[in-house]
Structures are given as structure tokens and as C-alpha cells.
Chain A
Amino acid sequence: MASWLIRRVFQALLVVFVMTLLVFVAVNLIGNPVDIMISPNATQAQRLETIRALGFDLPLWRQYLAFVDNLFHGDIGDSFVFGQPGLHLIAQRLPATLELAVSALLLSVLIGIPLGLLAGLYPNRALSQMILGGSILGFSLPTFWVGLMMILVFSVELGWLPAIGRGQTATVLGTEWAFLTWDGLQHLILPALNLALYQISMVLRLTSAGVRETLHKDFIKFARAKGLTWRRIVWVHVLKNILIPVVTVIGLSFGGTIAFAVVTETVFSYPGMGKLLIDSINLLDRPVIVAYLMIVVLIFVTVNLVVDLTYVLLDPRVRLGDRE
């Protein structure tokens, strides 16, 4: 178990390393960011000065080492546009994106699992067919368009919920959190729902398939032969069996959710890291892009590691070793 853990951590570090390499290569070698820093009227001398100041004249491998070194010190460089350290900018926006992603995760569990249970237990009912049909819609629909439609219906036509921005926040532990205020929650609902759409569909289908498969297993029949109530069979025997794969899938897709928040934040103008990323890409603001990548990779790798660990802990067969 310990050796497995070490191997996994090593694997994770490897991924991070490869990412730094890729990021460095891509961002520093291709495209010429110098051009946006310097006005076209600058003299050659001013150009050279800027190049030297930003370290672009050093040999590549030196640039890379400097890059990694800076990385360790949390210094990714100052944003070309805002003048502040890229990492700060991203870190400032991190809570908003986290709120979105975590809300989406919660929604996918709270909506996806019960609906999936229903569809799995009673597959022949019309309601179940509708639910499953709806789930196909859920992951076919382009998220950004659905977001637009949500704004159209719930904000413009019905006026129930706000369309743009984060709303009011409350400061806890030095960071601003929106979900702690009613206004902030209202601003959170539509984007979170939009972001969660894909996940809800996946969780729903996974749960439904899992339930249907488990119901046919012998141990369920045996449970009935023991005279257990249907309620106990479903909520203990069936649920525990399907929860393990479902939970791991949800966990593993958390990184993807954070990445996809880029789209939702753009649609709803939600001030998270994603929106900042898009803006930075358009403005060729390299340090911010790099900061974003690094943070996302870190989150990703950590979450994957945690999920792997959780899976090992949850499944008794894996944890205690199979004797057969």
C-alpha cells in the first residue's frame, strides 16, 4: 500500500513536470509576446532593452530553469496588462471558480443520484424514459447555448434570477465568498446549474445503469429471500454497491469541471479564473495564462490523487486484498 502511494505521488509529480515543460515550450517559443509590450513606434534600442529586462535574450534552457525556479517561489511573472503578479490575479479569482465548481458538483450529486435511482429501479415507467431521454439532452447540448437560453428565460423573460456577475460577497478567512450571502447565492444558481448540466446527466446515467445491473445480482435475490424490506435493499445493498464507482467518477471529473468553468464564466460574466483566462488569451497576457495553467494542473493532480486514495479506502475488496 505504501509503495503504491509513493508510485502514485511520483506519477503526479511527473505530470506536473511535463506540464511545466509543455507550458514553457508552448508559451515562450511560439508567438511573439514582445510585440504587445512595445508600441510599434519604439526604437530598436527600446526593444532590446525590453527584451533584456524580460529575459527573452537568454538561451532557452536558461529561460526554462529560470521559469521553474520562479515557479517554486510562486513567481510566474507580472501580468503584462495589469502589472500585478500573475499568480496573485489568478489566486484572487480562484474562490469564485471554486464556488462554481463545488456547487456544480453538489448539484450533480443531489439531482443526478436520486433521478438515476428512480430511472434504474423502475426502468419501464414513462417518467424513467423521460429522465433518461433528458440525460441524453444533458450531455448533447452545448453548454454555452443552454446558458444563454437560461439567461433568456429566467432573467430576461421571467426576471427571477440575475444574469451577470457574482453579486455580494462575505469575507471569511481573508477571502470573499459569495455563497454566504443571499444575493451571492442568487447569482450562483444559474451558472452552477449550467455548469452542472453535463455532470448531472453523466451521474444520472451511471447511477441508473449501476442500479439496473446490481438489481439482477444474486445477493439482491438473497436479500429478498431473507425477508428484508425493499427499502433496506435499495438504500443499503444497492446504493452501497453503486456509490463507489459513481463517487470516483464524480471526483475524477472535478478537474474537468474547473476547466469547463471557463465557458460558463464567460456566458454569465462570472468573475472567476476562467473568464480571466479567456481575456488573457485574447490579450496575449502570458504570465496570467501560465499562472492559470499551473494552478489548474495542481488542482487536477491533487484531486486525482485524492480520488485514487478514496477509492482504495472505500472498496473493501481492494483495501483488504482479495483472498480468492
Chain B
Amino acid sequence: MEAMAPQIPAWPVPPLLEVRGMRTAFGDIAVVDGVSLSVAPGRILGLVGESGSGKSITAFSILGLVEPPGRVTDGEVLYKGRDLTRLSDHEMRKLRGNRIAMIFQDPMMTLNPVLRVGTQIVETILAHEKVPQRIAIDRAVEALSMVGIPAAKERMRDYPHQFSGGMRQRVAIAIAILHRPELIIADEPTTALDVTIQAQILAEVQRLARETGTALIWITHDLSVVAGLADDIAVMYCGKIVEQGSTDDVLDSPAHPYTKGLIESVPTRNRRGARLHQIPGSTPNPAQRPSGCQFRLRCPNVLPICEQTPPQITIGPGHWARCFNPVASAINKALAP
């Protein structure tokens, strides 16, 4: 497949992936409670949220990898028009690692410690393509070099524990791009790494995505990470997406009070010596989420009507928030000519 020219399409373009009202529950508790988001082809979406917001479960739910007793109980996951929640496991298997790939958070745990790295790459190739072993091995070596691992051919025979954390994550990335997927879901891939390595991996992934025109969902709790990387941002709180829009829109004029709070809490935005801004209260765990708007107990903009479920309000083109009383400045900006 030829690399697509690095064209970032503007809205609106039929989304590559569209999630509508997805609900994933463990027993009675809905960890993901009506998530709706969309990813355009070739664009990078940053999915931001604290731990416990349900980001990872969202990722697993999209790929149908939620482990029982968890189940996707509601909603649709439309990938190029096909609803993934309706597909059989056999059909999902053909997509996984092939058209949609995933990178996990902790590189120590994602690779099987008793199998050689080469084996784990080659098996991914052979899972989706009938090629002779030799060809698969060559392609594996090529993939390793592409992600910047030196002496790739020799490294194929090594075991995961012989790689450093950053290198292991590169291997995971190599595996993800093997079949030139149209979408890669990266679940906090740099959280477990050193800061310097983080920057490297970030740059690497961005480069690869742009070069191959792959769409990317980058899940993180760190707003500053997506600020430089993503084209669009979706903010997640308590199992729901509370705001989505282009990065510029969301960061410059956040509409949802939670987003605003997040932005203001980023330490680098503070003047030195001033108190760090914090959102009051703490994130409730899935079993204890308030009714209506889940953020209302911590929200500076709260109104009595927030006890109802807030609707999706369009703030501007491609920018919406789930709020009864969005931040004033955002609306003003959107309304301004």
C-alpha cells in the first residue's frame, strides 16, 4: 500500500472510526457509559482522561478485547461503516493487528518473556498473510530497523528482557505497523518510560503516522503530551466523553469545565511560586458516580439542571461538549466572527 500523501483532511470527512453510545459494563457497573467519539482517516486523536475514567476499557472495547465478566452491552462501533460489535470473533481477528492495531501501556508485560522477539513479530505477519517463513523474517527485520532498533537482524533472536523499556515499546510499535493498519490505538504507550525516551517515542510515532497516513488514537492522562501530538482531542470523564474538538479549539477555548480545570492544572502553565491549581474533590470510582452530569459535584459552573443528563452541545465546527453550562469564553469565541 502506497504511503498516502501527508494531507490532513479538514472536517467534515466520513470518519474512519465512529463510536456511538458505547457502554461496557462489569456486572451492573458501567465503566464506559455511553462513549461517543470519532476519528478521521489519517488524523491523530488524543483521548485524555484520569485513571479510572475508562480510557483503556474504551480501547479494549473497540477491539472486542474486554475480558469477562466485562461486556460491551450497548452502542455501536462503526469502522468504515461496519459495526464491530456485531462481528464474530473470527472476523474481528482478521481486523486486529491487521487493519486496526493496538499498542499497550507497559512494555514489560506486553511481550511474552519466554519467546524470542523475532518469533513474536513473525507470528504476527503470518497470522494475516500467507508468506514463506523467510520473507516474514525479512519483513520483521525491516520493521525493527524502521523503528530505530540497531542491529535488527541479531536482535531478532533476543528475548524481551534483553531490551530496555524504550526498545521494547519500539518493538511493540514495530508489531503494530507491520500490516500498515489504518488505525492504531495506543494506550498510554509512554507512561511507563523515562521522560527522555517518551519524547523520542512520541516523535517516532508521529513521524510514522504522518508518513503512512495512519489514523491514531493516543490515550493518555497527560494533556501536555497530546498538545504537541494530536490533531483532535477527546476528553473523558467518568466513562463518558465530555468534550471533543480539534486540539486548537479544545486547548485554547475549552468548553467543558472539566477540560478547563485540566488545562489549568498542568504545572507548566503556572507562574512559579503561585499555588498549583487543582480541581476540587476527587474522581469517583465507577461504582459511585453521581447521577446526571457526573462532574456536577466538582464543577464551578454547576446549575440545578445539571442533575439531569446533559446533552451534547455543539460549540463550533467539529467541537462539542456535554454540558448544560459550558465555559462562557468558549461560546463567545465560537460566536465571534
Q: Which residues of A contact B114 (CB under 8 A)?
A: 240-241, 244, 315-317
For residue A37, CB closer than 8 A to chain B, the reply is no
**What residues of B have a CB within 8 angstroms of the CB of A61 in the complex?**
none
- A218 at interface, CB cutoff 8 A: yes
Contact A218 B123 (CB under 8 A): no
Rounded to whole Å, the gap between the CB of B100 and the closest CB of chain A is 9
In this assembly, does B110 line the interface, its C-beta being within 8 Å of a C-beta of chain A?
yes
Do A320 and B94 contact each other (CB < 8 Å), given the known contacts A221-B104, A222-B104?
no
B242 is an interface residue with CB less than 8 A from chain A: no
Asked if B124 is at the interface of the complex by the 8 Å CB criterion, the answer is yes
Contacting residues, chain B, for A222 (C-beta < 8 A) = 102, 104, 110-111, 172
Q: A219-B112, A240-B114 are in contact. Are A225 and B65 (CB under 8 A)?
A: yes
Which residue of chain B has the shortest Cβ distance to A316 in the bound complex?
Answer: B159
For the complex, what is the distance from the CA of A8 to the CA of B230, rounded to whole Å? 57
Quick check: B127 and A227 within 8 Å, CB to CB?
Answer: yes
Complex formed: what's the CA distance from A317 to B110 in Å?
16
Enumerate chain B residues within 8 angstroms of A225, measured Cβ to Cβ.
63, 65, 96-97, 101-102, 104
Residue A226 at the chain B interface, CB threshold 8 Å: yes
Inter-chain contact A227/B96, CB cutoff 8 Å: yes
Query: B118-161: which residues lie under 8 A (CB-CB) from chain A?
Result: 123-124, 127-128, 159, 161
> Is B276 located at the chain interface by the 8 A CB criterion?
no
B106 to chain A, nearest CB (A): 7
Q: Does B175 sit within 8 A of A, measured CB to CB?
A: yes
Determine whether the beta carbon of B123 is less than 8 Å from that of A228. Answer: yes
Q: Is A323 among interface residues, defined by CB-CB distance under 8 A?
A: yes
The bracket for how many chain B residues form the interface is 20 to 34
* Contact pick for A216, options B63, B67, B101, B164, CB 8 Å: B67
Cβ contact within 8 Å between B112 and A237: yes
Given A236-B115, A237-B115, do A229 and B93 touch, yes or no (CB 8 Å)? yes
Which of the listed residues A222, A241, A324 has the most CB atoms from chain B within 10 Å of its own CB?
Answer: A222
Contact partner of B159 (CB less than 8 A), chosen from A216, A217, A229, A320, is: A320
B109 engages A218 (CB within 8 Å): yes
By a CB distance below 8 angstroms, the chain A residues around B102 are 222, 225
Flag if B127 contacts A218 (CB, 8 Å). Answer: no
Known contacts A229-B127, A317-B159, A224 near B110 by CB under 8 Å: no
| Residues of A close to B128: CB separation below 8 A | 227
Chain B min CB distance to A32 (Å) = 57
Inter-chain contact A227/B124, CB cutoff 8 Å? yes
Shortest Cβ gap from B317 to chain A (Å): 34
A-side contacts of B162, CB under 8 Å: 320, 323
Within 8 Å by CB of A217, from B98, B101, B109, lies B109
Count A-B contacts at CB 8 Å: 85
- The interface residues of chain A lying within 8 Å CB-to-CB of B127 are 226-229, 232
Write the A222-257 contact mask toward B (1 if CB under 8 angstroms, else 0).
Answer: 111111110010001100110010000000000000
A219 touches B110 (CB 8 A): yes
Do A227 and B97 touch across chains, with their CB atoms under 8 A apart?
yes
Alpha-carbon gap, A222 to B97, bound state (A): 9
Q: Is A157 an interface residue (CB 8 A)?
A: no
Assembly CA distance A320 to B158 (angstroms): 10
For A227, the chain B residues whose CB sits under 8 A away are 93-98, 124, 127-128
Q: Tell me, rounded to whole Å, the shortest Cβ–Cβ distance linking B94 to chain A.
A: 7
Q: How far is the CB of A324 from chain B (nearest CB, A)?
A: 6
Q: Is the CB of B115 within 8 A of A322?
A: no
Most A Cβ at <10 Å: residue of B63, B97, B106, B163 = B97
The answer to the question of B108 belonging to the interface, with a C-beta cut-off of 8 Å to chain A, is yes
For B96, give the chain A residue with the smallest CB separation. A227
Task: Say yes or no for B300: interface residue by CB 8 A criterion.
Answer: no
Nearest CB on B from A133, distance (A): 23
- B165: nearest residue on chain A (CB-CB)? A324
B113 in contact (CB, < 8 A) = yes
Q: Name A residues whose Cβ lies closer than 8 Å to a Cβ of B.
A: 216-219, 221-229, 232, 236-237, 240-241, 244, 315-317, 320, 322-324
Interface residues of B (CB under 8 A from A): 60, 63, 65, 67, 93-98, 101-102, 104, 106, 108-115, 123-124, 127-128, 159, 161-164, 172, 175
15 contacts between A and B (CB under 8 A): A217-B109, A219-B109, A221-B67, A222-B110, A225-B102, A225-B104, A226-B124, A226-B175, A227-B94, A227-B97, A228-B124, A241-B114, A316-B161, A317-B114, A320-B161
